[in-house]
Copies of this chain bind each other. A is one copy, B any other.
Amino acid sequence: MTDKNIPDIVVSRLPIYLQTLQHLSRQGKTITSSQELGEQSFITAAQVRKDLSFFGGFGKQGSGYDINYLSARIRQILKVDRIWNVALVGSGDLGHAIARYPGFAERGFHIRYVFDNDPAKIGKMIGTLPIISTDKMVEIIRQEGIMVAMITVPSRAAQSVADQLVQAGIKAILNYAPVALNVPENIRVETVSPILQLEHMTYYL
C-alpha cells in the first residue's frame, strides 16, 4: 500500500482529513465536499482534491465524497484500520495522563505496557496496567512484537531509552521529551513539542 512516490507532506495531511471526516460523521453527515472538508481542516479545497488524487479518485465530480467510504479508505492507507499495541516508557505525570487518556485507544492505539526505571514505581498500577521495570522492556517488546512506543521520560534519559526501543524492534516512536532523538533511518520519530509551538506563536504577538 505504501507508495514511496507520495510526498510526506501529503501523508501528513491525511490524519487531519480523517479527523475532520469523523467530526462531520458525528454531526450526522454522510456526504461532504472538498470545499467543506478543506474549510474544516483549514486547508484549501484545491489542496484537498490534489492530496486525495494521489490515492486514486474518492469522489465523483459534482456528487461529493461519501464520508464513510473516504474515512475507511484513509484509515486503510494510514494503516489505522487495525489495532496498534503501544509501549509507554516513563510513568511520571505525563505518562500517567497518557496511560489514562481514552483517546488513544479510541483511535486504535492501545497502550499495553508501561515501563519505568524507578524502583519505587515498579509494580504500582495505572488503571489496569502495572508499571514494569525497564530491565524487562526489550524482552517484552520483542516477545509481543510491539512496533509503536511513546517516550515520556526526562530529556537526559530519552536517547538511551530510544536506543533500547530500537534494539527491541520498535519502528515508530512518539517522543514527548524536548530533545531531538538519533535513530536509524528506517525508524520513524515524531516529537510532541508544545514549547516549540508556543515559541512559534509568540513571534506574532
Which residues of A are interface residues toward B (Cβ below 8 A)? 2, 11-12, 14-16, 18-20, 23, 40-42, 77-80, 84, 92-94, 96-97, 100-101, 103-104, 107, 109, 147-148, 150, 171-172, 174, 176, 178-180, 188, 190, 192-205
Extra contacts besides A93-B97, A148-B198, A190-B200 (12): CB < 8 Å: A15-B193, A15-B195, A19-B179, A19-B195, A19-B196, A42-B180, A79-B202, A93-B101, A104-B194, A107-B195, A148-B202, A171-B205
The oligomer's copy count stands at: 2
**Interchain CB contact (< 8 A) of A172 among B19, B190, B205:** B205
**Pairwise interchain contact B201-A190, C-beta atoms closer than 8 A:** yes
Q: Is the CB of B199 within 8 A of A18?
A: yes
Decide if B199 touches A190 in the complex (CB within 8 Å).
no
* Distance A78 CA – B174 CA, assembled complex (angstroms): 26
Q: Which of B14, B19, B196, B201 contacts A203 (CB 8 A)?
A: B14
In the complex, what distance in Å separates the CA atom of A2 from the CA atom of B205?
9
* Residues A109 and B11 in contact, CB atoms below 8 Å apart: no
Contact B100 A203 (CB under 8 A): no
What's the nearest-Cβ distance from chain B to residue A80, in Å?
Answer: 5
**Choice from B41, B148, B179 contacting A180 with Cβ under 8 Å:** B41
Whether A198 contacts B172 in the complex (CB less than 8 A), given A97-B97, A188-B204, comes out as: yes
7 contacts between A and B (CB under 8 A): A79-B203, A80-B199, A148-B201, A150-B194, A172-B205, A190-B200, A190-B201
Indicate which residue in B80, B176, B178 contacts A202 across the interface (CB closer than 8 Å): B80
